[in-house]
Structure 1
Amino acid sequence: MKADIHPNYNEVEITCSCGKVFTTRSAMGKQQMHIEVCSECHPFYTGQQKIVDTAGRVERFRQKYGNVQRG
C-alpha cells in the first residue's frame, strides 16, 4: 500500500434521536454524529411499527381506498 493516501480512521460518538449513545470508528473526520434511528428504536429490531400521520394523510388514504374490494 502507498503511504499517506488513506484517511484517518478515528473513533466517532454516535447519538440517536432516541437518546442512545454509542462509539464506533469512521473515516468521516468528525468526532460526533447524530442519527434519527438506531437498533434500539428502529421498528425492524423492536417489532413495533410506528405510523407517523402527517396532516392526516394515513386517515385520508384509508377513507379513499379502505373499502376497495379485490376481485
Structure 2
Amino acid sequence: MPKSDIHPQWFPKAPVLCDGKPICYIGSTKPELRVDVWLANHPFYSDSQTLVDTEGRVERFMKKYGLDSNEQ
C-alpha cells in the first residue's frame, strides 16, 4: 500500500514571472516561479549584449589588455 500525503502539491497552471509580469504558465510544485532572464530579454537573443560588471572586473580586464570598453 503506498503512503498517502507524501507527494508535494501540484499546481497545473503556475505562472512564470519575469519583472512581475507573467510570461507563461506551466505545471510545477511551486505556486509561482520567478526568473531574471528569459528568451525575450536574454542578451544573446535580443542583440543587446552588455558587459555585466561585478566588482570592477571588466574595467580591470580592459585596462590590463589596453582595450576600449566601447569597442565591439
Q: TM-score, normalised by structure 2?
A: 0.63
Query: What percent of counterpart residues are identical?
Result: 39
Deviation beyond 2 Å, 4+ runs, structure 1: none
SS in 2 for 1:14: strand
Name the structure 2 match of 1:23.
24
More divergent stretch after superposition (7-16 vs 49-58): 7-16
Task: Let me know the Cα RMSD of the aligned residues.
Answer: 2.3
d(CA) in 2 for partners of 1:31 and 1:56?
37
Q: Given that residues 14 and 31 in structure 2 are in contact (C-alpha distance below 8 angstroms), is that contact kept between their aligned partners in structure 1?
A: yes
Name the structure 2 match of 1:3.
none
C-alpha deviation, 1:45, in angstroms: 1.7
Q: TM-score, normalised by structure 1?
A: 0.64
SS in 2 for 1:44: helix
Name the structure 1 match of 2:41.
41
Relative contact order, higher structure (CA 8 A, sep 6+): 1
Uncovered stretches (5+) of structure 2, i.e. residues with no partner:
1-7, 68-72
What's the CA shift string for 1:3-48, capped at 9, x where partnerless?
Answer: xxxx85711101113x54222222x311211001012210122111
Uncovered stretches (5+) of structure 1, i.e. residues with no partner:
1-6
SS in 1 for 2:45: helix
Count of aligned residue pairs for this structure pair: 59
Name the structure 2 match of 1:11.
13
